Amino acid sequence: MPITINVNGADHDLDATPDTPLLWAIRDHLQMTGTKFGCGMALCGACTVHMDGQPIRSCTTPVQAVAGRKITTIEGLASPVAEVVQRAWNETQVVQCGYCQSGQIMSAIALLERNPSPTDGDIDAAMSGNICRCNTYQRIRGAIKNASKQLA
Amino acid sequence: MRWINRNTRGHLQAGSPVNAQESRRNFLKVIGGAGAGLTLAINSPAVWSVSGSVSKSPGPDSGFAPNAFVRIGPDNRVSVVIKHVEMGQGTYTGLATLVAEELDADWEQIDSVGAPADAKRYNNLNWGPMQGTGGSSAIANSYQQMRFAGATARAMLVAAAVQRWEVPAGEIAVKQGIVSHPGSNRRASFGELAELAASLPVPDKKSVRLKEPAEFSCIGRSLPRKDVGKTDGTAVFTQDIQLPGMLTAVVAHPPRFGARVKRFDAKQALASNGVVDVIQVPSGIAVLAKDFWSARVARDKLEIEWDESRAMSKSSAQMMAEYRELAGKEGSVARDDGDARGVLANAESVIEATYEFPYLAHASMEPMNCVALVEKDSCEIWNGEQFQSVDQMNIGKLLGLPADRVKLNMLYAGGSFGRRANPVSDYLVEAVEIARAKTGTPVKLVWSREDDMQAGYFRPAYVHRVRGGVDAEGNIVGWEQHIVGQSILSGTVFGQSIENGIDHSSVEGASTLPYAIPNVRVELTSTEEQVPVLWWRSVGHTHTAYSTETFLDELAARAGRDPVALRMKLLADHPRWQGVLKLAADKAGWGEALPKGRGRGVAVHESFNSYVAQVAEVSVADDGSFKVERVVCAVDCGVPINPDVIRAQMEGGIGFGLAPALVSAVTLRNGQVVESNFHNYQVLRINQMPEVEVHIVPSTAPPTGVGEPGVPPIAPAVANALAAVTGKRYHTLPIET
Ligand code: FES
Ligand code: FES
């Protein structure tokens, strides 16, 4: 029986088992590849997407758990906060290899949506689940502060 | 990757004509003369139409391609062909800057595109006739080449304007993508002149003039990066490749190094949802499915019996014990100045330390993966391609094809840190082994994080035994160091660079100790283990910088000298070392008082011809836990091409080097890798990242790399800072307090 998930405002019928992680439904079934696979165990944050605006790790979220929910991926970003964050990321020249950055940006947007003026501690708490092996952390922090200023 | 540098002593000459010759000879031997007679392809016009092999065709068919690196379309876009993989280090930006500079292009009109595999045109000039990326060599080997490419194109655009406007060349100006003749008020974009320029002869290289540094308008500026699409999810990595009919493969690898498949039963796996086939390959059992998750689920349903009769059974602790014992015996001599042993036997005061370093995984964010399509007489690969010539050779050999029938599409790599440059092309060969069983069907091999972490190709584990002596006046009179661990190059196609038992990549940084110590002896014992090993961002310097720079601090303390003052004195003949050391110390406020529980430590190290000093500031809590608060870094990498990219690489290198200092280690238990994912192989997270401040030494020396040199000094700087607070010395990584 097909499962229906709503991604970036559109319903999609999936021919997948209900335990299929949302990450692989998005990447392999919907062929939206902006959301990345890094660990598969909710340890690295590369697969972060929004479910009803909350950041979740799509690699450990089965598709059956998101039925009736609204999923947003990096491809579907449209909010004013998202725009500011992506711009801040470019202005700060955050990226290196870039592989972790979709997840970083999704986590940062979720943080700033609920807390437009995060402290260093808030940033650490919201972002420490997102690994960057290129260690762009200083610029991630800088970009979040930059975005926060623009949002104030 | 310094197998090319056979010079073991302080005066590093990689890239000099002598070494280039030598490395070329080495490589010719390796490849069997395949590259004989190669010339630089810069003077062959319109290569596109000749080869047509650029994977993503940069721009429309018509246009202007004066050489292998520049393509100007009638749409006024300038494509710069980048021969080195972009894995985060900024090469798409740096190399494009060199072209833009001499072309006088507008940075906005530049697009960077990946080069195809073609060592005739895109070889790494530091590596002879071989194409590939590593050893922080991209800028160093391309500096003249890319500038000539830009300058040649510019000269031809000017020639086109001369012809069209019938004015003398000397009256034509080129600025920010516009060719103009101010006298007659005429102007044209590059695109408007492209077609005419393409019909003109390519000027002789001797007639092409490069700018003087004072004329630079792009070099030295922090232009924004050209590896775009990384903030909106549109950048394409290997993991993102989707091809019609493509299957995804996952492989069950043996649980121990050296184990083999004895027998297997695939019945249940084959019955699993979405599975297409199960096949045995030399490295294990591959499950092919329509998508990753189906393949991954089915892999767990395989029943495999492994033959472990020749498998590894050692544990890390046992290995370290063996290495400690070996470190007390004789090794092969990498350097022997004066009479270190004799002097240490009689020195006023002698210190001895034994250092231990575990295996390390690269753990790039994108686990290893590869897309392969095997046809009857060709093969096509999509990969974050770092080692073109070697990969073509290995895959060609496997398939019985000439190397040039292996087409490589170079994609962005989601990190590498050395992992995607493998002398045996391990994961590419695995992908091809699977794809050859499915001729005509593209196969995407995907490793899970666990596969990636447990497959080996680790930074080797090492033990160093170091002894040093101080005389009655507080002078360091002798230094003896014995390094024990696996050789990265031994047994590979690069093994022939090993001389008299010395793999220079095991001792670099120690054998090149720059300090004015009259008696220095460095020995190496290369061990053999079944654990596959590989270069890991900054290679030998990952461990030698730690032992040398922390031990020097111990000797300084014994001699009652300030660590910076002593280094400055011992580096009197090395102004570039001194330059970064002084700059970092000044900016960090070296010598100024710190609150209780805080300490500073310093380290300075040269790697890949770049010089880096770092001052770390740590805070230690009452329970012994500590935090790296701040790092001040100074770097001398010759002419700074893009200061912001240099800063980014220093910041990233510091974070990368902090991980093994604080948290990362791969351990073996009875031959099995214990760590499997980021819960037990820990890496640095944002809350552990110190505030980093980077200062760049102004220089007119030829530019050198920045991808690796930021890594080596951070661990010793932190250990020295901790010692300043606790009075203890830390000889084992990761540091335990
Ligand atoms: S892939 Fe989901 S957290 Fe790492
Ligand atoms: S930018 Fe490479 S992992 Fe974050």
- B240 and B230 in contact (C-beta within 8 Å)? no
**3-state SS of B3-72?**
CCCCCCCCCCCCCCHHHHHHHHHHHHHHHCCCCCCCCCHHHCCCHHHHHCCCCCCCCCCCCEEEECCEEE
Average pLDDT over residues B703-716: 98
- Over range A9-38, report the average pLDDT: 97
CA of B384 to the centre of ligand 1 (A): 20
CB A131 near ligand 1, within 6 Å: no
Q: Residues with Cβ < 8 Å from B630, sequence gap 6 or more?
A: B588, B616, B617, B690, B691, B692, B693
Residues A115/A122, Cβ–Cβ less than 8 Å: yes
Query: Which residue do the tokens 């003398």 mark?
Result: B168
Does pLDDT of B43 surpass 60? no
Using an 8 Å Cβ cutoff, are B447 and B427 in contact? yes
Residues A135 and A147 both lie in one domain: yes
**Beta-carbon separation of A39 and B648 below 8 A:** no
Among protein residues, the one with the nearest Cα to ligand 1's atom 3 is A42
Within this chain, do residues A24 and A86 fall inside the same structural domain, yes or no? no
Per-residue pLDDT tens over the stretch B391-445: 999 999 999 999 999 999 999 999 999 999 999 999 999 999 999 999 999 999 9
Flag if B648 and A96 touch (Cβ within 8 Å). Answer: yes
Spatial distance between the Cα atoms of B718 and B690, rounded to a whole number of angstroms: 11
| Predicted pLDDT of residue B239 | 98
pLDDT for B128:
87
Q: Which amino acid is at B83?
A: K
Of B82, B293, B383, the C-alpha closest to A27 is B293
Q: What is the CB-side half-sphere exposure of residue B260 using CA atoms within 13 A? A: 4
Q: How far apart are CA B546 and CA B339, in angstroms?
A: 24
Residue B721, helix vs strand vs coil: helix
- The model's confidence at residue B3, banded by pLDDT at 50, 70 and 90, is very low
CA distances from A45 to A73, A83, B138, B444, B644 (A): 13, 20, 31, 23, 26
What residue type is B288 in one-letter code?
A: L
Domain that residue A39 falls in? 3-76
From the CA of B655, which ligand is nearest? 2
User: Given phi > 0 = left and psi -120 to 50 = alpha, else beta, which region is B140?
Assistant: alpha
Residue B59 reports pLDDT greater than 50: no
Q: Which of B223, B231, B417, B677 to mutate to test the interface with A (most CBs of A within 10 A)?
A: B231
Residue in chain A closest to B654 (alpha carbons) equals A135
Q: What confidence tens digit (pLDDT) does each residue in B278-306 have?
A: 999 999 999 999 999 999 999 999 999 99
Q: What is the DSSP letter of A128?
A: T
Q: What gap in Å lies between CA B17 and CA B24, rounded to an integer? A: 10
Contacts of B678 in chain A (CB under 8 A): 39, 41, 43-44, 131
pLDDT, position A1: 64
Q: Tell me: do A145 and A89 sit in the same domain.
A: yes
CATH number at residue A113: 1.10.150.120
Verify that A92 and A61 share a domain, yes or no. no
List the one residue out of B103, B88, B173 whose CA is nearest residue B138. B88
pLDDT of amino acid B40:
23
- Among A50, A76, A102, residue at a domain's last position: A76
**Are the Cβ atoms of A75 and B685 closer than 8 angstroms?**
no
Query: According to the model, what pLDDT value does residue B409 have?
Result: 96
For residue B643, report the distance from its CA to the centre of ligand 1, in Å.
Answer: 33
d(CA B625, CA B170): 68
Yes or no, beta carbons of A33 and B233 under 8 Å apart: yes
| Ramachandran quadrant class, B420 (left: phi over 0; alpha: psi -120 to 50; beta: rest) | alpha
The angle, 0 to 180 degrees and rounded to 10, between the axes of the packed helices A101-114 and A120-127 is 130
Check whether residue A43 and residue A56 sit in a common domain.
Answer: yes
Domain boundary among the residues A76, A91, A107 is at: A76
Same domain, A63 and A10: yes
* Residue indicated by tokens 């040039």: B404
Domains of chain B, CATH where assigned: 4-36 (no CATH), 70-229 (3.30.365.10), 238-309+368-446 (3.30.365.10), 316-359+459-726 (3.30.365.10)
- When comparing pLDDT for B1 and B642, which is higher? B642
pLDDT, tens digit (0-9, with 9 covering 90-100), for B455-493: 999 999 999 999 999 999 999 999 999 999 999 999 999
pLDDT tens profile B27-40: 333 333 222 222 22
- Give pLDDT, residue B737: 82
Q: Which of B446, B389, B447 is nearest to B423 (CA)?
A: B389
Partners of residue A22 in chain B, C-beta under 8 Å: none
Taking alpha carbons only, the member of B460, B564, B552, B551 closest to residue B507 is B460
A152 to chain B nearest CA, in Å? 22
Peptide bond into B734 cis (omega under 30): yes
What average pLDDT score do residues B140-165 get? 97
Q: Are residues A67 and A87 in the same domain?
A: no
pLDDT in the model for residue B4: 33
Ligand nearest to the CA of B412: 2
Conformational region of residue B177, where left means phi above 0, alpha means psi within -120 to 50, and beta covers everything else: left
- Output the DSSP codes for B535-597: --TTTTHHHHHHHHHHHHHHHHHHHT--HHHHHHHHTTT-HHHHHHHHHHHHHHTTTS---TT
* Per-residue pLDDT at B423: 97
User: Distance from B648 to chain A by nearest Cα, in Å?
Assistant: 8
Q: How far is A76 from chain B (nearest CA, A)?
A: 9
B505 in helix, strand or coil?
A: helix
Q: Looking at the structure, tell me whether residues A145 and A109 fall in a common domain.
A: yes
Q: What is the mean pLDDT of residues B536-546?
A: 98
The SS3 call for residue B279 is: strand
Q: Are residues A10 and A58 in the same domain?
A: yes
Domain CATH code at residue A17:
3.10.20.30
In sequence order, which residues have a C-beta less than 8 Å from that of residue B45 and are 6 or more positions away?
B65, B66, B67, B198, B202
Which pLDDT does position B62 carry in this prediction?
A: 55
- Tell me how many degrees the CA angle A61-A62-A64 measures, rounded to the nearest 5: 130
Local structure of B377: helix, strand or coil = coil
Q: Give yes or no: residues A64 and A11 share one domain.
A: yes
Which ligand number lies closest to the CA of residue A49? 1
Judging contacts by C-beta atoms under 8 Å, the chain A residues touching residue B694 are: none
Indicate whether A100 and A70 sit together in one domain.
no
Whether the CB of B629 is below 8 Å from some CB of chain A: the reply is no
ipTM over 0.90: yes
Across all residues in chain B, what is the average pLDDT?
91
pLDDT at B13 over 90: no
Predicted model pTM: 0.93
Of A22, A54, A76, the position where a domain reaches its end is A76
B598-607: strand order across its sheet = B598-607, B610-620, B626-636, B691-696
- Compute CA distances B417 → A44, A60, B3, B387, B667, whole Å: 18, 27, 17, 13, 20
Neighboring chain A residues of B248 at a CB cutoff of 8 Å: 28
Cβ–Cβ gap A37/B684 under 8 Å: no
Instruction: Let me know whether A90 and A64 are in one domain.
Output: no
Average pLDDT score over residue span B217-233: 97
**Residue B183, Cβ neighbours under 10 Å: how many?**
11
Those residues whose C-beta lies under 8 Å from the C-beta of residue B714, and which sit 6 or more positions away, are B603, B614, B616, B631, B653, B654, B657, B658, B661
**Per the structure block, which two tokens stand in for B358?**
């575990």
Measured CA to CA, the distance from residue A139 to residue A98 in angstroms comes to: 13
Q: B602 and B649 in contact (C-beta within 8 Å)?
A: no
**How many structural domains are present in chain A?**
2
Is residue B50 pLDDT above 80, yes or no?
no
Closest by CA position to B71, among listed B80, B62, B61: B80
User: Picking from B10-14, B625-629, B643-647, which range would have the lowest pLDDT averaged per residue?
Assistant: B10-14
